[in-house]
Amino acid sequence: MAKSIDEYLRTQFMPHIWCPGCGHGIVLNALLRAVARLDLPKDQVCVVSGIGCASRAPGYLDFNTLHTTHGRAIAFATGIKLANPDLHVIVVTGDGDGAAIGGNHLIHAARRNMGVTTVMFNNSIYGMTNGQYSPLTPSGMFAATAPYGNVERNFDMCELVRASGANYVARATVAQARQLSTYIERAIENPGFAFVEAVGSCPTYFGRRNKLGSSLQMLETLKKNSVTAAAAAKLDPAELRGKIIIGEFYRGDAPGYIELYDGVIERAKEAAGK
């Protein structure tokens, strides 16, 4: 096992560009501890991202890394996994990157049960471009593009990805960083498509505009608003308003795309008489 997660950092590029107290750092820390516990060789990990603050993560990581185009990380990751199924392919994406422009790739990767782990860094906003609302900005919250409050309803990403066919679906906030790390570990271990929504915070754009206080206060609010899936099952929708349901929502063992594709290769070989 890695002595320290520093072994996974390109320390020459630190400190990272994220703002003081940005939740993205806590999510990345949880991800690296998960990789350390699994003791994965660095060369067998490939971290792929799109565009956004969250998507800057691979630049600091000493694995195989790819920083791609906005919303397309899962498409690149799919290609990588098919070309080299032995790699642990991990997608790091924001709520804008993965749920807005990249939403279609996400649901289809889940439907295919593609052997990719996706960690969505959900800070409820487009941070990099100064605070436009995303499909995960809760209704009623303020954003640069919602100065009178967001009238749209936000997706429940875990329900969406679960319904699309993923094998593993879980959510935790950065206020439960140990739990978050354990979910990411299980997601990496689980064959097929695995999805972890990491609810974090953007103190700079989401926090300021919604007067949510310091990064520390935002952490405390996340903790206070978290409800376990078991507890949530006993509450009615009115009581759940503004709450974040955390837990493991699904662990399945449907055959993954890679496994099924091995069968295609076998059949093609037989047909060719090899």
Partner 1 sequence: MISAGSPEAPVLVRREWCKGCGICIAMCPKKVLEAAPDGKAVVARPDDCTRCETCEIMCPDFAVRVVAKRAAAPAGRREAVADGR
Ligand X SMILES: Cc1ncc(C[n+]2csc(CCOP(=O)(O)OP(=O)(O)O)c2C)c(N)n1
Q: Which residues bind partner 1 (CB under 8 A)?
A: 1, 4-6, 9, 14-16, 18-26, 29-30, 33, 37, 176-179, 181-183, 185, 214-216, 219, 227-232, 245-248
The nearer residue to ligand SF4, 58 or 165, going by C-beta atoms, is 58
Q: Does 205 bind ligand SF4 (CB under 6 A)?
A: yes
Residue type, 82: L
What SS3 class is residue 250? strand
Please list the residues that pair with 171 across neighbouring strands. Answer: 197, 247
Q: Does 199 bind ligand SF4 (CB under 6 A)?
A: no
Instruction: Report whether 150 contacts 139 (CB < 8 A).
Output: yes
For 82-100, the DSSP string reads HH-TTSEEEEEEEHIIIII
What is the number of other CB atoms lying within 10 angstroms of the CB of residue 196?
Answer: 31
The nearer residue to ligand X, 29 or 129, going by C-beta atoms, is 129
- Side-chain-facing half-sphere of 95: CA atoms under 13 Å: 28
Task: Identify whether 237 is preceded by a cis peptide bond (ω within 30 of 0).
Answer: no
In whole angstroms, give the CA distance from residue 182 to residue 186.
Answer: 6
> What is the smallest separation between the CB atom of 217 and ligand X, expressed in angstroms?
19
Please list the residues that pair with 89 across neighbouring strands. Answer: 46
Q: Which residue has the tokens 């608003």?
A: 225
In whole angstroms, give the CA distance from residue 53 to residue 56.
Answer: 5
Q: Does 226 bind ligand SF4 (CB under 6 A)?
A: no
What SS3 class is residue 248? strand
Residues numbered 187-216 forming contacts with ligand X, rule: CB under 6 A: 202
Please list the residues that pair with 218 across neighbouring strands. Answer: none
Q: Does 137 bind ligand SF4 (CB under 6 A)?
A: no
Q: Does 70 bind ligand X (CB under 6 A)?
A: yes
Which of partner 1, ligand SF4, ligand X, none does residue 204 bind (CB under 5 to 8 Å by kind)?
Answer: ligand SF4
Structure-token pair, residue 69? 């185009």
* Sign of the torsion angle spanned by Cα atoms 17, 22, 25, 27: negative
> What is the smallest separation between the CB atom of 135 and ligand X, expressed in angstroms?
9
Among 49, 78, 134, 150, binds ligand X (CB under 6 A): 134
The nearer residue to partner 1, 45 or 184, going by C-beta atoms, is 184
Among 5, 19, 80, 227, binds ligand SF4 (CB under 6 A): 19
Residue facing ligand X at closest CB distance = 94
Which residue, among 132, 134, 185, 194, has the nearest Cα to 158 in the 3D structure? 194
Q: Does 54 bind ligand X (CB under 6 A)?
A: yes
Which of ligand X, ligand SF4, partner 1, none does residue 129 bind (CB under 5 to 8 Å by kind)?
Answer: ligand X
Q: Does 8 bind ligand SF4 (CB under 6 A)?
A: no
List residues near ligand X by CB under 6 A.
51-54, 70, 94-97, 121, 123, 125-129, 134, 202
List residues near ligand SF4 by CB under 6 A.
18-19, 22, 24, 53, 123, 127-128, 202-205
